[in-house]
Amino acid sequence: GQQVMQIPQYQHVQEGEDFTTYCNSSTTLSNIQWYKQRPGGHPVFLIQLVKSGEVKKQKRLTFQFGEAKKNSSLHITATQTTDVGTYFCAGGGSQGNLIFGKGTKLSVKP
């Protein structure tokens, strides 16, 4: 079945450094969503991208959807300790379903 691969699995950064997580699918996605899960919490919706090549920004977070709609990235500029958590991408599949990546766990050292 359709799969969405997400890398890296873990990322440890010093506060102030940048962070990027990547998602790749072997098939075209209808959309891509990003979620953040804080430690002990539940996933919270961040954003959805639908158009080929789309780029959206939320303060220090930049989200991209690839031209072929098969890959996406989330970039955080100048990380803060509040950015700690696991970031999941989720791609819209051909059956109207959502396929989650395994997530990237971000830790930030103050």
Partner 1 sequence: KAGVTQTPRYLIKTRGQQVTLSCSPISGHRSVSWYQQTPGQGLQFLFEYFSETQRNKGNFPGRFSGRQFSNSRSEMNVSTLELGDSALYLCASSLGVQAYEQYFGPGTRLTVT
Which residues would be at the binding site for partner 1 (CB under 8 A)? 1, 30-31, 33, 35, 41-45, 48, 88, 90, 92-93, 95-103
Asked whether the beta carbons of 46 and 52 are under 8 A apart, the reply is no
Give the residue with the Cβ less far from partner 1, 42 or 59. Answer: 42
Residue pointed to by tokens 């050292």:
109
Q: Which is nearer to partner 1, 43 or 66 (CB)?
A: 43
Report residue 106: phi and psi, to 5°: -105, 125
**Closest CB 78 distance from partner 1, rounded Å:** 27
First to last CA, the chain: 41
60 CB contacts (<8 Å, ≥6 apart)?
76, 77, 78, 79, 80
Name the residue nearer to partner 1 (CB basis): 66 or 93: 93
Q: Closest approach of Cβ 103 to partner 1, in Å?
A: 5
Q: How far is the CB of 99 from partner 1 (least distance, A)?
A: 8
